[in-house]
Amino acid sequence: MILTVTLNTALDITYRVRSLRPHASHRVSEVTERPGGKGVNVARVLAALGHEVTVTGFTGGATGRVVRELLAAVPGVVDALVPVSGATRRTIAVADEQTGDTTQLNEPGPMVTPGEWSAFQEAYGDLLRSASAVALCGSLPPGVPVGAYAGLVRTARAAGVPVLLDTSGEALRRGVAARPDIIKPNADELAELTGSHEPLRATQDARRRGAAAVVASLGPEGLLAATREGRWRATPPTAVRGNPTGAGDSAVAGLLSALVEHLPWPDRLARATALSAATVTAPVAGEFDRGVYEELLGRVTVSGEVSAA
C-alpha cells in the first residue's frame, strides 16, 4: 500500500467559462467537483495506475463530508482521513476555454487544534506499518506546526518507509533537513529553498541540505533530477496545452509508483514526465489522459550521467 498525506485537503471546484475577463460577469458552461489537495490528486493517479493507495490527512465540516462522499466513489482509494472540528477548505479553478489558461483561488483551510494534530500523528504511525512508500504533500492548515513535515519524515524513516516530500516555503526548508528520500519542488520552490535560480546548481544544493534525491519540475520543459545514482534531465517530446493544475501531483505519482516497482531512475523520470504532460490535457487535477500518457511515455527523452555521488 502507498500512503499519501494531505494535511490540507480540499473540495476542488472547477468552473469552465468561454473567456475570463476581469470586472465582468461570466456564464459558467460546466462545473466539476472533486476531492482535492495535492496528496489526494496523487492518490487518484496512483489508483488509476493500479496501485493500492490510502489517503490520510484532515477533513471536517459540511465540505469535508462532501470530500469523503466523493472519495468513496474513487476506485482503489481507501479513506483514512482524520476528522477535525473546522471546515475543510475549497479551491476554485476557473478554466478559460478560449486561452486554455486557469485561474486558481485557494482557501487557507481549517484551524487544527493540538489534540487533533496529536490524533493525526498517532493514526499516521499506525498506517506506516503497512505502507511501502509515503508522499507528504501540500500546504499546512492553520494550527499545524511549521516543522510538521520534518517530524513526519523522521517518523517514516524510523519505520523504514521511503518518503517523498512535496511542499514549499519554510515547511520544505525544515522538512528537507529531516532527510527525505525524495523532494519534488517546482523551479520557484527550489529557488526559494536554495537561493539559486540555476536549476542544476539548485538541485545539487538541495541535496546537500539533506534530501537523498531532488526532482525539480520545470513546467513544460520536464524534470531535472539529482540523486545518489546520478543526474538526469527528462524532456517531453512536445509541448501540450491545457490545465496545468495537478501536473506536479501526477509527477509525484509517477515517481512513487516507479519507486515501489523498483524501476531505475531514468524510467522513473520518463513515467513522471509523461504523466505530468498527460494531466495537462485532462479537464481536472488528479486525472490524466491515458492515451496521451501511453503515447508520450516511449518518446520522453532522458539524458544524463550515472555517478557514485
Crossing angle of helices 247-260 and 38-48, in 10° steps, is 50
Give the residue among 104, 118, 116 at the shortest CA–CA distance from 58.
116
CB 165 within 8 A of CB 183: yes
Q: Supply the Cα-derived Rg of the chain in whole angstroms.
A: 18
CB 183 within 8 A of CB 205: no
* DSSP assignment of 58-96: EE-HHHHHHHHHHHHTSTTEEE-PEE-SSPPEEEEEEEE
Grid cell digits, residue 192: 526559494
Location of C-alpha cell 537523498: 212
CB 174 within 8 A of CB 150: yes
CB 293 within 8 A of CB 274: yes
Which residues are catalytically annotated? 249
Determine how β-strand 213-217 pairs with β-strand 182-183: parallel
Phi-psi region of 244 (alpha: psi -120 to 50; beta: other; left: phi over 0): alpha
